[in-house]
Structures are given as C-alpha cells and as structure tokens.
Amino acid sequence: MMMIIECQHYSHQGNPRRLHKDYYTELRLDNCQNWRSIDFDSFTRNTILTCKGELLCRELVSKMFSSRALVDIEVDDLPQYHDLVDPKRLILSLHLPLHDEARIREFIAHKQPAFVYKLVYEADTFGEIKNTVDLLDQQADRNFIFSVTGKWALFQRSLFDRFHSCGLYMAADKPLYEGQPQKFAMIFMLARVLSPDIELILVAGDERVNTSGSLTMGNHILELNGENKVFIPVPAKNISELIEVYSYLRKSEHIVGFTVTSPFKAVISEHLKLGTGPVNSIQLLSERHDRNFYNENLDMYLYARNTDTLALEVGLSHLDVATSNSVLIYGNGACAKAFIKRLKRLGFTNISLMARNPAKAEALCKDYGVLPASDQVYDLLINASPLGLSEADDLGSIPGFRKLINLPLANPLNRLEDLSREKQIPVFSAETFWFYQFSEQMQIFCYPHPFDLDKVKTALKSSNET
C-alpha cells in the first residue's frame, strides 16, 4: 500500500478531483464554521477528512464517518468518539512536538484497530528517525505513515518508504502547520525517488540545505534530462551525522556521491583526507578510474573537486575581468577561502576581503595575505555570503563596485542583484553561477562517461519557458 497525500483546508468551492488510487487529498475542517451544510456523501475514498480544532464534536465525527472518506482522529481524542469510528476507514494519529520513545511505543501498540496509524514529530537528529524505524519494525503487521517535521522533513518524507512508512503528507499550497513540506518542494524529488533503480546524490549541509539549488532547480533538470538520479537533502549537525546517514542508506541505495554546501566544504575535505582544500562535489564509485582514489573511511573510490571555483572562472571570463583589476570578496566561509586561492593562481594581486563578522574577516586577511576592504570603488565584487537575501541587510555598507559575481540564490529576494541592475552594473547572477557549477558537478558524478551539457541547457530553457 502507498499513500501520497496533499493537505489543504476545506473549501465549499468544490470537492477534490478523482485522483490516482495511491493519491489522496486531506481536507482540514478546522475553520469550517458551517460544516453542517457540507454534502458528506460527495467525498470519495481518496479523501481524508479531519478536524484538529475546537469544532471537533460527536456530530461532526459521525458526519465524517457517514461518508466514504477516510477519517483522521487524534489518539487523545479517540476515547470521546470510540463508538463512532469505523476501523476500516480510521487513520489513528499521534502528533508529538519532539521524539518521545515511550509515547511512540505506547501508540504503535495501541489496541484500537485502524486502517493506518500516523505518527508525526519534529526530529532533531537522524538517530531519532532510526530509533523510530526500529520500533515500527516490531509491528510489521500494521500500516504506518511515519512523517517528521522540521529540518529533516524533506529528507525523511522524500524517502518515506525506506523508513517503514506507507505514505507521506505534503501541503498542496501553504503549510497547514509549521514544518510541513510543500508540494512544490517535494514533487521533483518524489517523482525520481519512486522510479526503479534510482541513484541518490546526497546534498550535505545544515538546515539551509533544504533550499539548495540542487533541490529547487537541479532535480527538475535531472527529470527533464532523463537522468536516473535525484538530489536528497541531508541537514546534518556535523560530519559524523552525515556519515551516519550515508552508512545507513548505502545498505539499500545506490549513492552516486555528495554535493557539499556550507558549512561542510572544508570540514569534509579534512575528514576524508582529500588533500584538496574545500570541495563541493564528491563522486563515490566502487571501481577505480584515472581520477579517483580509494578511501578507507567510506570504503569507496572518491573523485572530488570544487566546482564553485570552476564557475568562478566562467564568471570572470563572462564579465571580462582582468588580473590587474581590483577584487572585493564578501564572505568568510569555504567559498571565500577557495576563491582567494584560485584568484591568486590566476594572477590576481589586488584582492580585498570583507565580511559580516569584522573579526573573522581580519583573521582571514592575515591568514591568506589579502587586503581589508577600503572605501575605494572595486572593479569586481564577489558575494560569497547570504548578503542581499533579507530586507534587513544593509547594502549601503558595501564599498562601490563596477561588476558583480553573486552566489546566493534568491529565497525569494536577491536585493544585491536587483540593486546592481538598477545601477546598470553587469551581473553574473546566482542562477547562472549555479548552472555552471551544477554542470561541472554532473560531469564529476557521471565520470568517466560524459554528461550532455547541451541537453541540460535545452532542458533548462524549456523549464524557464514553462
């Protein structure tokens, strides 16, 4: 059994359309003050009715079960309505604020028969998810929908069937509660994950990984391009937790590699003893080729590169930046450090650095032999920070610049790019930067076989037109 469930508030404007047998629509009646006027006979078997608010009462529960729909009742509310429920259409649910093993044990062994048992909580660690799966495995005769909220939601729900869950919930539009993933954020992951023999690329980072361009754009391009690969976010606390996720998944999944985001680009290189400095792309392969080497820690052959620096070179060429030009880098993370090294190798000598944290910027200037920012107008600004993604960012604190290479993707704002275009400053945009580094990443993940860049450009153009 599989259940893909879109959630929305009930509207009298019309009942949900008839969906594929595995797809359901959950209708929340929480705000429906005139629920007595609802035609409950019109609901299909692909509908789930529930009410989590003050409107819940015996009459409403009776009305919901008089329909053909499935009905979601919270386990704490069950004693009041036990005599009204139809076990064949009951979704018995438990929503917890955090992982609570004692409550979970009690719930999954509940004596009430049900069509499916739904468990939801906010996961703080991957270990909590593993612990829950171990508990659910002890009740193999029951159907469970296990979903977590919070930073692990996209990861766990996109791989729901790998975690003893027969289904997943996602908001059709706006989240109905904090931490509920939206359909647009999951749809391209879900479409790929449900394909046979899918290959996973783990996007390593902290909670910010859930808005990575690999998810928002990369998975769409892979689908349009016919690639049997999918990016999956891993919002790990540290490298140890990332490796824990990898070790768990590799038992049953084909993992192509890691695409690495902040703050792990330098740390993962050190942990795996790559000897390359910060990296953002690591291919994992069981065989040797001319560019990889065996890593005992992962028991795989690794091929690692930093495609951010490759995209940087494209940006420098695109904007016709000369090595004699003055360059200001804004940021103090792994990208800023890698960019300083690459610029020096390319022959740039007039490099300055600025960051939100002045102390870190000063330390980085000393360590890498670059200048602190001054009031001059720079020929090029490279923004390797989230600057410009918030209305609160003070863009007036940045020295003047004549050209811009921008890295952070809009979320949804990108004020620095907007300001630059208003001033007719040439911009190598975050989306363009992402596209070039993504293209190079795919060359790494597919090596030694070539990746068709022209096909990606066609797919991207088609996507933009749509």
Tens digits of per-residue pLDDT, 207-247? 999 989 999 889 888 888 788 899 999 999 999 999 999 99
Q: Is 461's pLDDT higher than 70?
A: no
Query: What was the pLDDT predicted at 292?
Result: 95
**Locus of tokens 């952070």:** 408
**Locus of tokens 């596209």:** 435
Give the confidence band of 455 by pLDDT, cuts at 50, 70, 90.
Answer: low
Position 40, amino acid: F
Distance, CA of 305 to CA of 310 (rounded, Å): 9
Under 8 Å CB-to-CB from 121, ≥6 apart: which residues? 95, 96, 97, 98, 99, 100, 148, 149
Q: Is 401's pLDDT higher than 50?
A: yes
* Mean pLDDT over the full length of the chain: 92
Task: With CA atoms as reference, report the closest residue to 447 among 341, 309, 307, 315.
Answer: 307
Query: What was the pLDDT predicted at 29?
Result: 95
Tokens (6 digits) for 233: 């976010």
Give the confidence band of 15 by pLDDT, cuts at 50, 70, 90.
Answer: low
Q: Is 388's pLDDT higher than 90?
A: yes
**Locus of tokens 């296990």:** 146
Distance, CA of 166 to CA of 433 (rounded, Å): 39
Cβ-count burial 143-168 (b if 16+ within 10 Å, e if not): bbbbbbbbbbbbbbbbbbeebbbbbb
Backbone φ and ψ of 452, nearest 5°: -80, 95
Under 8 Å CB-to-CB from 8, ≥6 apart: which residues? 25, 26, 27, 28, 171, 172, 173, 176
Across the range 187-205, mean pLDDT stands at 87
Query: What was the pLDDT predicted at 466?
Result: 43
Position 193, amino acid: V
Distance, CA of 280 to CA of 234 (rounded, Å): 14
Q: Is 63's pLDDT higher than 70?
A: yes
How far apart, in Å, are the Cα atoms of 60 and each of 37, 84, 90? 11, 10, 15
Query: What was the pLDDT predicted at 16?
Result: 56
Distance, CA of 202 to CA of 251 (rounded, Å): 15
Give the confidence band of 276 by pLDDT, cuts at 50, 70, 90.
Answer: confident
Helix axes 430-446, 307-318, angle to 10 degrees: 130
Give the confidence band of 260 by pLDDT, cuts at 50, 70, 90.
Answer: very high
**Whole-structure pTM over 0.85, yes or no?**
yes
CA angle centred on 69, ends 67 and 71, rounded to 5°: 105
Neighbours of 455 (CB within 10 A): 14
Across the range 44-63, mean pLDDT stands at 95
Across the range 84-97, mean pLDDT stands at 97
Q: Is 17's pLDDT higher than 90?
A: no
Name the residue with higher pLDDT: 243 or 464: 243
Number of H helices, E strands in the chain: 16, 20
Percent of the chain whose pLDDT exceeds 70? 95
Q: If you count them, how many residues does the chain have?
A: 466
